[in-house]
Amino acid sequence: MAKRNSQAQRNGDRRQTPAWAMVLLGALLGVVGSLAVLYGGKIPTLRGGKNLPQPNPEAVAPKESEKAIAEETAKAQPPAPPKSNYDFYSVLPEKEVVIPDSELSAKAKAEQARAKQQAQANAANNGTATTPSTTPPPAAGGGRYMLQVTATSDASAAEALKAKLAMLGFTAKVYTSTTDGKTLHRVRLGPFATASETETSKRALAESSISAIPVKEAN
């Protein structure tokens, strides 16, 4: 009987320690271990922030004078010049000059005015009314006008453009020349004796969405 009482007493002592107490004890031990690791230097990023970006003590802010110099330098640099409209037509042969559209128009008007005056003078001498000539006389000084559509190193491209112009009703020629070892094929209309004829043909090309520049070559 005494043995049974002793065994029952031991079993009662075991039941006095519940399971939740063991769980709580384990949690406390885990917290203590974490604190030991944290303050033991094994997680420096959280403890001291040593791995975070640090300010550079040697960095110096730009001075106001340096900023002003940089701004003035940027302003002083001129913008890139616009590409010339005539780059596409390359270099013209010697003794040829490009005639600006405004100059061509002025020359055409001057030719038409001379033609009208000549017709009026002829009518006064003959005593009859005379219709002004539709073809103004060329200006003094000679020379002839051409309309250059393109200048290319590709001979086949030049011939193809010539054929296209022919389909549109324009008579063009391909002029080939070599300068400094570079061969160019120029597709041109003309020659025209007057600025009026040149301007008329230029307008006709523009109506077909074809650009051309008037040039004049001396005799």
Answer yes or no: is 78 within a domain. no
Answer yes or no: is 91 within a domain. yes
Closest CA to 201 of 88, 192, 136: 192
Answer yes or no: is 2 within a domain. no
The parent domain of residue 99 ranges over 87-106+142-217
Answer yes or no: is 114 within a domain. no
pLDDT tens-place values along the chain, 219 residues long: 545 555 555 555 555 566 777 777 777 777 666 666 566 554 444 444 555 556 666 665 555 666 666 666 656 555 554 443 444 444 566 678 999 999 999 999 999 889 888 888 888 787 655 555 555 555 545 579 999 999 999 999 999 999 999 999 999 999 999 988 999 999 999 999 999 999 999 999 999 999 999 999 865
Task: Identify the CATH number of the domain in which residue 175 sits.
Answer: 3.30.70.1070
Closest CA to 214 of 101, 134, 129: 101
Per the CB < 8 A criterion, the answer to whether 146 and 214 are in contact is: yes
Answer yes or no: is 150 within a domain. yes
- At 24 the pLDDT is 75
Q: How many residues does the chain have?
A: 219
What's the number of domains the chain is made of? 1
Answer yes or no: is 202 within a domain. yes
